[in-house]
Amino acid sequence: MASDPSSERPIDRLLTIMARLRDPVNGCPWDIEQSFRTVAPHTIEEAYEVADAIERDDLPALRDELGDLLFQVVFHAQIARERGAFDFEAVAAAISDKMIRRHPHVFGEARVADAAAQTVRWEEHKAAERAAEAAAEGRAASALDGVIRGLPGLTRALKLQKRAARVGFDWVETIDILDKIEEEIGELRVELRAAAGSTARGPAHDRVADELGDLLFVLVNLARRLEVDPEGAIRGANAKFERRFHRIEALLALQNRAPTDASLEEMEALWQQAKREERESTAS
């Protein structure tokens, strides 16, 4: 008879619950069917929900979302355990070893002056680890090693640019990036004109997408030089759009109307009203 998980330490209880959910005879059919690949999207989603709780400064929600994220780690570890690859204890041991290795100023005799110096030391440790991995694979190390492909596009662009900048591949002046942005807008305009009247998602559309990607990439570079997190900036822009559009809907509702009942000109006027109201509220 299986032990009662309610009497165990919380982490052991969670591991027991996960094992029971994956039990091929008495487990949950959905959990049994999952694999690393099918669970991965949920892991990413849970990480974003953690970030959202932090953004909202909602500590009870943060506690719950961290639990959901921990469950994802336990889920992956259980699948690996079933395959004989590793288990949760190995995951915890590996990250513990890594933290000790990367903090010799805390767990060893090394000394660092401040947080900035520690950041430099941290990057040096990671670079050394990446170089060792490349050597083990029989290839030359790259400054871009370790920037994983599964990151959100803006975040990955930022990391790639930071890595390139460390070896000197960077703009001399921030103003030069504005010139590049104007250049990319010009190239995008050319492709848009060339694609005018084309409805098929063919070569013309691909060229437009390519130029738009170049523009986004340079905008991330500008954000980096201005020390603005591009993901944070776009989240702020999303929240602002959502807030103002809700105001449009509310103002139309006062007239017993919906956005589908209003013209673009009417909604634009209400958008400007929402902007004015926000500025006045901030000023006061």
Are residues 108 and 96 part of one domain? no
Distance between CA atoms of residues 146 and 167, nearest Å: 15
The pLDDT score that the predictor gives to residue 123 is: 76
The pLDDT score that the predictor gives to residue 195 is: 87
Task: Tell me which of 271 and 283 has the higher pLDDT.
Answer: 271
Using pLDDT thresholds of 50, 70 and 90, give the confidence band for residue 6. Answer: low
Give how far Cα 117 sits from Cα of 26, 103, 114, Å.
Answer: 53, 12, 5
Question: Cβ of 133: how many Cβ atoms within 10 Å?
Answer: 13
Cα R_g (the chain), whole angstroms = 25
Residue at 184 is within a domain: yes
Q: What are 242-275's pLDDT values in tens digits?
A: 999 999 999 999 999 999 999 999 999 999 999 9
Are residues 11 and 98 part of one domain? yes
Residue at 147 is within a domain: no
Are residues 92 and 132 part of one domain? no
Residue at 42 is within a domain: yes
Residue at 37 is within a domain: yes
The 3-state secondary structure of the chain reads CCCCHHHCCHHHHHHHHHHHHCCCCCCCHHHHHCCHHHHHHHHHHHHHHHHHHHHCCCHHHHHHHHHHHHHHHHHHHHHHHHCCCCCHHHHHHHHHHHHHHHCHHHHCCCCCCCHHHHHHHHHHHHHHHHHHHHHHCCCCCCCCCCCCCCCCHHHHHHHHHHHHHHCCCCCCCHHHHHHHHHHHHHHHHHHHHHHCCCCCCCHHHHHHHHHHHHHHHHHHHHHHHCCCCHHHHHHHHHHHHHHHHHHHHHHHHCCCCCHHHCCHHHHHHHHHHHHHHHHHHHHC
Max distance between CA atoms of the chain, in angstroms, equals 72
Q: What are 185-215's pLDDT values in tens digits?
A: 999 999 999 888 766 677 888 999 999 999 9
Residue at 143 is within a domain: no
The pLDDT score that the predictor gives to residue 241 is: 96
The pLDDT score that the predictor gives to residue 254 is: 96
The pLDDT score that the predictor gives to residue 1 is: 46
The pLDDT score that the predictor gives to residue 134 is: 86
The pLDDT score that the predictor gives to residue 129 is: 81
Q: Say if residue 156's pLDDT is above 90.
A: yes
Provide the domain count of the chain: 4
Q: What are 63-112's pLDDT values in tens digits?
A: 999 999 999 999 999 999 999 999 999 999 999 999 998 888 888 888 87
Are residues 97 and 108 part of one domain? no
Using pLDDT thresholds of 50, 70 and 90, give the confidence band for residue 4. Answer: low
CATH number of 63's domain: 1.10.287.1080
Q: Lowest mean pLDDT of 5-14, 50-59, 148-157, 193-202, name the range.
A: 193-202
Query: 182, 206, 228 — which closes off a domain?
Result: 228
Structure tokens at 93: 């041991």
Domain range for residue 265? 233-283
Residue at 148 is within a domain: no
Residue at 145 is within a domain: no
The pLDDT score that the predictor gives to residue 138 is: 87
Are residues 81 and 15 part of one domain? yes
Q: What are 17-75's pLDDT values in tens digits?
A: 999 999 999 999 999 999 999 999 999 999 989 998 998 899 999 999 999 999 999 99
Are residues 174 and 113 part of one domain? no
Residue at 247 is within a domain: yes
Are residues 192 and 222 part of one domain? yes
Are residues 275 and 211 part of one domain? no
Q: Say if residue 120's pLDDT is above 80.
A: no
Non-local CB neighbours of 275 within 8 Å, separated by 6+ positions: 244
Cα-Cα end-to-end distance for the chain = 66
The 3-state secondary structure of 119-182 reads HHHHHHHHHHHHHHHHHHCCCCCCCCCCCCCCCCHHHHHHHHHHHHHHCCCCCCCHHHHHHHHH
Q: Let me know: does 156 contact 147? Beta carbons within 8 Å.
A: yes
Are residues 96 and 109 part of one domain? no
Q: Answer yes or no: pTM beyond 0.85.
A: no
Q: Let me know: does 46 contact 106? Beta carbons within 8 Å.
A: no
Are residues 129 and 212 part of one domain? no
